[in-house]
Amino acid sequence: MSTVSQSGSRPEELPDTEEPPDTPARPTADAAGDRHRLTALQGLAALSLDAMASVAYGPESIVLVLAAAGAYGLGFTLPVTLAIAALLAVLVASYRQVIAAFPNGGGSYAVAKAHLGHRTALVAAASLILDYVLNVAVSVTAGVAALTSAFPALYGDRLWVCLAVLVLITAINLRGIVDSAKAFLLPTAVFIAAILAMVVVGLFRDAPASTVTADGHASVLAHNATGVGALLLLKAFASGCSALTGVEAVANAVPSFRAPARKRAQRTEVALGALLGVMLIGLSLLIGRFHLQPVEGVTVLAQLADASFGHNWAFYVVQFATMVLLALAANTSFGGLPVLMSLLARDNYLPHVFGLKADRQVHRHGVLALAAVAAALLVFSGGDVNTLVPLFAIGVFVGFTLCQVGMVRHWYGVRSRGWRAKAALNGFGAVLTGVSAVIVTGTKFADGAWLIALALPLLVLAFEAVHRAYGRIGERLGLGRVPEGPHAAHSLVVVPVSHLSLLTSEALNAAVSLGDEVIAVTVTHDDPEDRPAADALRRDWELWNPGVDLLELPSRTRSVGRPIADYVRTLTAHRSATRITVLIPEAEPAHLWQRLLQNQRGAVVAHAVRRHTDAAICRLRFRLEAAGREG
């Protein structure tokens, strides 16, 4: 039987102005659900992979830009990194407050929705969605690129390797975010330990242990450059800010943490920022200490590992850990995007199916949708990371900026202790992230950033179209209004039959129980091949005499559903005070493969009645397995 689930309208929830303690978890269903939520350490593994892996390409992005100014330009690597670290501190402090004020998750979307209006909130949500999807594609392709560099024979099959990695990560996340966190905890710990060990060992060396520069690897250093302009420094800053992608992931996924969720999420955010900042600054110190210059075909991280450890097993540990973490950095998106999509679904901007949770606290439909779009991007790019990188990190700066501006308005609204300093901090961050967004978009526009500029408004329009559709549905269903009380009406049940069987008997038993009046109908065709079956049904019905009339509906075509729908529509027109139900009996096979043996007549009739009439439809399932056991 078809059912309609209704959700009443809810008043808009205002964010908390302080940091109230979390409600203690109930020792029943909530406690059981907590087993499938994250601790702070697990949250670091599940939600920080994107940010942690960015140390593999963030410092390199700075070096490649500053190399245009020669060795003198490379001397600004540390100052630019310190500026990025300062911005990182601002963002961590801001998102710590976002977590406290918006414990239901959503990050930039939740802040913008509360303080900047729904359309601005949709821009923030669209930017986050694009960044999350691109993060999956870029992380997987970057990790596979590291793999194919070590094993060149796999290069021709890199797309299939990318898709295999994506399937693996998706399968793990369908098991639940806690399972994914446990699976990724060891690779995250190995990577962090390897990078920190490399920094410590490198700082105690007076000279590089070895170098990876070899024949065929040409330096891309501009030897003739003499000065560093402000525009170049800004471009280096914007490029290096790619290391900040993923900082917002914890704030987007606060509901995924165990109680007290706010405190655990805040600790995770601070730990993420501290580790990321230490690694970025440490790598920049090594770049200056070893007078590193970019070498074509060799990553900056590989050069630093070679200079610190030498070309030995430790070097390969760093490379392997980097490769694994880059591939697994996609998990950040699987932790944050489904939660964001569930919030959008709750606000009627996405189909409500994205708000559903499986038993293991998994937004399964969001996980599958993310995997499907990421797979399409992988196929589009052919598994080539360079095709996707120009599109990356643009959306996240839009989200950063809107979140910072929204938090400024938040502090002006609550005016709690120290609100001026907090508002100034967020305002400064908004300026920095806004400038970075403009620079990143401008410098990458011709390389494909125009796709993001086009996709953002299209996503917003799609959100609003879904919202309008739900508004029309709600108006039609009378949501938010008290309906009239239930009242009895004369009921008529129409039962389509094609032959006489136990299924027919069960259907009539149910129909007699449901309705005041029951009519059985059968469709007959003017075809010599069908006449014997029609005559047999008519004869058997008279012999059986169930007390229900059998009405024959002649059809000039081979259609089964349309004649029944036309008859029901005629009944509705002549008996408007009667409530009409079409009860369709269907056999439920014992095994899935046996469905191939069915003629799908019930589905055809249901579709026709649903499309052409307003009658209620009841599909009666008769389980063949149960019938066999009873016999």
Query: Which DSSP string corresponds to 106-118?
Result: -THHHHHHHHT-H
- At 177, is the pLDDT very low, low, confident or very high (cuts 50, 70, 90)? low
- At 35, is the pLDDT very low, low, confident or very high (cuts 50, 70, 90)? low
Picking from 135, 104, 12, 179, the residue whose alpha carbon sits closest to that of residue 355 is 104
What number of residues does the chain have? Answer: 631
Q: Could you say which DSSP state residue 257 is in?
A: B
Is the pLDDT at 495 greater than 50? The verdict is yes
**Rounded distance between C-alpha atoms, residue 172 and residue 166, angstroms:** 10
Q: Kindly state the average pLDDT of the residues 7-34.
A: 43
Cis preceding linkage at 260, omega within 30: yes
Is the pLDDT at 629 greater than 50? The verdict is no
Lowest mean pLDDT of 271-285, 361-375, 390-404, 600-614, name the range: 390-404
pTM: predicted TM-score of the whole model, two decimal places? 0.69
Question: Residue 242: CB partners within 8 Å, gap ≥ 6?
Answer: 54, 57, 58, 61, 392, 393
What share of the chain has pLDDT > 90, as a percent? 10
- 497-533 pLDDT tens trace: 988 888 889 999 999 998 889 999 998 887 777 788 8
- At 211, is the pLDDT very low, low, confident or very high (cuts 50, 70, 90)? low
Write out the two tokens for 180.
């994914």
Question: Residue 579: CB partners within 8 Å, gap ≥ 6?
Answer: 489, 490, 491, 492, 616
The reported pLDDT for the residue numbered 200 is 92
- At 178, is the pLDDT very low, low, confident or very high (cuts 50, 70, 90)? low
- Angle at which helices 158-174 and 118-150 cross, to 10°: 130
The reported pLDDT for the residue numbered 380 is 85
Element (H, E) at 555: strand 549-555
Q: Kindly state the average pLDDT of the residues 310-314.
A: 84
- At 460, is the pLDDT very low, low, confident or very high (cuts 50, 70, 90)? very high
Is the pLDDT at 24 greater than 70? The verdict is no
**Rounded distance between C-alpha atoms, residue 21 and residue 19, angstroms:** 6
Average pLDDT in the chain: 79
Is the pLDDT at 257 greater than 80? The verdict is yes
- Angle at which helices 177-203 and 313-328 cross, to 10°: 140
- At 631, is the pLDDT very low, low, confident or very high (cuts 50, 70, 90)? very low
- 384-399 pLDDT tens trace: 766 776 677 677 788 8
Write out the two tokens for 475.
């108006």
Is the pLDDT at 17 greater than 50? The verdict is no
Q: Which domains does the chain carry?
A: 30-471 (1.20.1740.10), 491-630 (3.40.50.620)
The reported pLDDT for the residue numbered 233 is 81
- 572-614 pLDDT tens trace: 888 888 899 999 898 887 777 766 766 678 888 889 889 988 8
What share of the chain has pLDDT > 70, as a percent? 84
